């Protein structure tokens, strides 16, 4: 897919070049956009330069005069640290911050208000599809924000996604991503708990996997028990990002005053999930 003509290619700032932000920036560069990138880890910056991006010395410099700024950092604290008044005011007038990080609704609201007070905009845009989806341009984007902002961003989003789902105003993307994660992470926790129960009763993993595959073949649990981790799932990611996403879920439930007992159960059971994924990586049943 080709980018806009040379005369109107927007400058896009990228802050955070990890497993998702890095490949997205690479696709933007290859598609003719003008990415200026920042990450405190030099090893994460170098591959982006090889793809045609320009390195910035700070988050503010990455966003200076940018029409769009993509923020793909680890957590709420990092998101609010970088989406600060200095960055926002350095952006082009009427610029848009695209918040790809999995964060709470409260964080989205604070970042949106900071942008509004300075004549800029924010869309919270959760991503699904993992690093492979980012590399292949097949991510699903789960967006919250104004429809007119989405139309401005759509040519850019088309660089790295296969579908954009607008869920409502800013904050609804984070809510929808949290609800989606509850289903996915909850299923993983249930599969790990089911396996612990089965093995204690003398049923091995292979036997349980056959039973679940025959009776509920479409479930995520069936695939996990069979050793199919899916794209981009690793024990390290499950241990750290999975646990962080569960804490985000807990916060979203509290903010919205919705009880989420399944989240508490998943957190309590998460070591079993890490063990199950680790066994799958090692090819062990």
CA separation for the pair 244, 177 (Å, rounded):
14
Highest mean pLDDT among 4-8, 97-101, 275-279: 97-101
Average pLDDT, integer, range 132-140: 96
- Asked whether the predicted pLDDT for residue 79 surpasses 90, the reply is yes
| CATH class for the domain made up of 6-169 | alpha beta
Task: Determine whether 263 is exposed, middle or buried from the number of CB atoms within 10 Å of its CB (0-12, 13-18, 19+).
Answer: buried
Same fold, 6-169 and 175-279: no
Q: Compute how many other C-beta atoms are within 10 angstroms of the C-beta atom of residue 217.
A: 10
* pLDDT band, residue 230 (cuts 50/70/90): low
- Asked whether the predicted pLDDT for residue 66 surpasses 70, the reply is yes
Q: What is the CA radius of gyration of the chain?
A: 20
CA separation for the pair 94, 119 (Å, rounded):
6
pLDDT at 229: 67
* pLDDT band, residue 220 (cuts 50/70/90): confident
- Asked whether the predicted pLDDT for residue 228 surpasses 80, the reply is no
pLDDT at 223: 79
pLDDT tens per residue, range 6-62: 445 789 999 999 999 999 999 999 999 999 999 999 999 999 999 999 999 999 999
Average pLDDT, integer, range 125-134: 94
Sign of the Cα torsion 227, 24, 119, 78 reads: positive
- Asked whether the predicted pLDDT for residue 281 surpasses 60, the reply is yes
Average pLDDT, integer, range 229-241: 80
- Asked whether the predicted pLDDT for residue 178 surpasses 50, the reply is yes
pLDDT at 2: 44
Q: Compute how many other C-beta atoms are within 10 angstroms of the C-beta atom of residue 203.
A: 14
CA separation for the pair 126, 119 (Å, rounded):
23
pLDDT at 234: 82
* pLDDT band, residue 260 (cuts 50/70/90): very high
Q: Are 206 and 222 in contact (CB under 8 A)?
A: no
Can you give the residue ranges of every domain in the chain? 6-169, 175-279
DSSP string, 105-160: HHHHHHHHHHHHTTT-EEEEEEEESHHHHHHHT-EEEEEES-HHHHHHHHHHHTTT
Mean pLDDT over each residue of the chain, to the nearest integer: 92
The pTM (predicted TM-score) of the whole model is 0.91
Q: Which one is the CATH code of 175-279: 1.10.1040.10, 1.20.140.10, 3.50.30.30, 3.40.50.620? A: 1.10.1040.10
* pLDDT band, residue 251 (cuts 50/70/90): very high
């Amino acid at each position: 897919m080709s980018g806009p003509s040379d005369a109107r290619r927007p400058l896009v700032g990228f802050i955070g070049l990890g497993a998702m932000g890095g490949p997205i920036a690479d696709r933007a560069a290859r598609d003719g956009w003008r990415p200026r990138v920042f990450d405190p880890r030099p090893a994460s910056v170098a591959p982006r330069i090889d793809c045609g991006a320009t390195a910035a010395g700070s988050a503010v410099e990455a966003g200076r005069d940018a029409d769009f700024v993509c923020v793909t950092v680890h957590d709420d604290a990092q998101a609010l640290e970088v989406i600060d008044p200095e960055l926002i005011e350095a952006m082009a007038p009427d610029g848009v911050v695209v918040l790809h990080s999995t964060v709470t609704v409260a964080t989205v609201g604070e970042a949106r208000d900071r942008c509004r007070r300075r004549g800029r905009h924010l869309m919270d845009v959760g991503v699904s599809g993992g690093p492979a989806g980012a590399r292949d341009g097949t991510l699903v984007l789960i967006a919250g924000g104004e429809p007119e902002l989405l139309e401005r961003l759509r040519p850019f989003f088309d660089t790295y996604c296969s579908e954009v789902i607008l869920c409502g105003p800013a904050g609804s993307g984070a809510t929808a991503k949290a609800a989606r994660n509850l289903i996915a992470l909850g299923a993983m926790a249930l599969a790990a708990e089911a396996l612990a129960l089965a093995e204690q009763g003398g049923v091995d993993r292979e036997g349980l996997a056959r039973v679940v595959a025959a009776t509920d073949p479409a479930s995520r649990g069936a695939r996990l028990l069979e050793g199919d981790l899916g794209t981009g799932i690793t024990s390290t990611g499950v241990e750290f990002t999975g646990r962080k996403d569960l804490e985000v879920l807990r916060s979203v439930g509290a903010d919205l005053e919705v009880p989420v007992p399944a989240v508490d159960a998943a957190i309590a059971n998460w070591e079993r999930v890490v063990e199950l994924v680790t066994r799958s990586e090692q090819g062990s049943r």
